[in-house]
Amino acid sequence: MSDTKSLFNAGGDHAVLLIHGLSSSPLEMRFLARALERNGFVTCAPTFDGYSAGSPERKMEAWLTAVIRKFDELSGRYARVSVCGLSIGATLALALVRHRPAAQAVVLLSVTLAYDGWAIPWYRFLLGAAFYTPMRGRWRYREGAPFGLRNEALRAKIARAMQKDGFSEVGPSTISLPALHEASRLARSVRSFVRDIRNDCLIIHAIDDETANANNARFVSSHIGSAFLRSIYLDDSYHMITSDNEREIVAREVGLFLRESEMARSGGGGEAAPVVSRALARRLRHIAKAGAQSGA
C-alpha cells in the first residue's frame, strides 16, 4: 500500500471500500486500512475523479457514479463488500448504499450532513448564495486550527504541512466554493432518503467535532431504517477520527462491527444490536464482569 493515491490490499472475501473526505486523499484512511488488513479484510481506498484532490471538480452526481463503479468492481471479485466513509465521504457512502442495497454494511465516520461544528465560521450560511455570484470561481474556504485534530502534536505537524505544501494527510488547506456547494447538494439528497436505507450501519462520531456537530450522527441514527445499528461517540477526538487520539478505537470498532455483521447475515446471530455509546458499552462490560466475579 505504498501508493498514496490509491490504497489497496488483497486477501479474504470481505472487501471494504473506504471513501475519504471532500477534496482530499486516501491518506486520511491509511491507518484504518492497515488495521482492517491485519484483521483479514480486503481494503480499497481509491481516488475518485471530480471528488478527490488533484482532479477537475465535477458535480455530486459524478462523485456517486465513480463510487458506484468502484463498488461494482469489488462486488465482482469478493463475496461481501462493505462501505466506509469519512466526513462527506460518509454522506457519499449513504448515497452509494441506497443505489447498492446489497452492500454488507455501511460505516459512517464523522458523517457530515451539515457544516455546523463549533469551529465553522459564522458566515458559512452565506456561501450558498455566494455560489451564484462571481465569487464562485475565486473564493476558497481555508482550513485553520485545529484542522480536525485534538492531538496537539499532530496538529502542529499538519499546520506545517499545510503551510509548506497546501496539503496534508488530513486533507487540503483550502476547499473551493463549487466543491462545498456540491457537498451541500449531496447532504440534502441523503437527508431525504436516509429512512429507506436498511443496511447494517455503524456510526462513530466525536462529541466535540468542530466541523460537523454530533447532531449529524444523531439525525442518521434516529432516521435510518437499519435493524442492525450501532452508534459510538468519542470523547477525545475532533473531526478527523481516523487520525486523531482515538484512531485505534475507531479501527477496532469498525473491524468488530463488520465481523458481527457477517455473523448476523450468515445466521450466527440474528438479533439487532442496541445503539450504544462507547461509555455505555464500557459500563455494561464492567457490570457483567462484576456479576461474574460475585457469582464465582
Measured between alpha carbons, how far is 18 from 107 in angstroms, rounded to an integer?
A: 9
Instruction: Please report the pLDDT score of residue 2 as a whole number.
Output: 36
Q: Does residue 106 surpass a pLDDT of 70? A: yes
Q: Does residue 9 surpass a pLDDT of 80? A: no
pLDDT per residue as tens digits for the range 130-169? 555 666 555 555 666 688 889 989 888 888 887 766 666 7
pLDDT per residue as tens digits for the range 109-138? 999 999 999 877 655 555 566 555 666 555
Whole-structure pTM over 0.85, yes or no?
Answer: no
Instruction: Please report the pLDDT score of residue 57 as a whole number.
Output: 87
Measured between alpha carbons, how far is 49 from 27 in angstroms, rounded to an integer?
A: 16
**CB distance 262 to 235 below 8 Å:** no
Domain ranges of the chain: 7-121+178-295
Of 138 and 102, the one with more pLDDT: 102
Instruction: Please report the pLDDT score of residue 275 as a whole number.
Output: 46
Measured between alpha carbons, how far is 194 from 204 in angstroms, rounded to an integer?
A: 17
pLDDT per residue as tens digits for the range 219-276? 999 999 999 999 999 999 999 999 999 999 999 999 999 999 998 877 654 444 444 4
Residue-averaged pLDDT of the chain: 84
Instruction: Please report the pLDDT score of residue 174 as a whole number.
Output: 65
Instruction: Please report the pLDDT score of residue 295 as a whole number.
Output: 54
Q: Does residue 4 surpass a pLDDT of 70? A: no
Instruction: Please report the pLDDT score of residue 47 as a whole number.
Output: 94
Q: What's the average model confidence in pLDDT over 80-95?
A: 98
Angle between helices 88-99 and 177-193 (to 10 degrees): 50
Q: What's the average model confidence in pLDDT over 28-48?
A: 95
CATH T-level assignment (fold) for domain 7-121+178-295: Rossmann fold (3.40.50)
Measured between alpha carbons, how far is 142 from 291 in angstroms, rounded to an integer?
A: 53
pLDDT per residue as tens digits for the range 40-85? 999 999 999 899 988 888 999 999 999 999 999 999 999 999 999 9
Of 289 and 62, the one with more pLDDT: 62
Of 109 and 284, the one with more pLDDT: 109
20, three cell numbers: 475519504
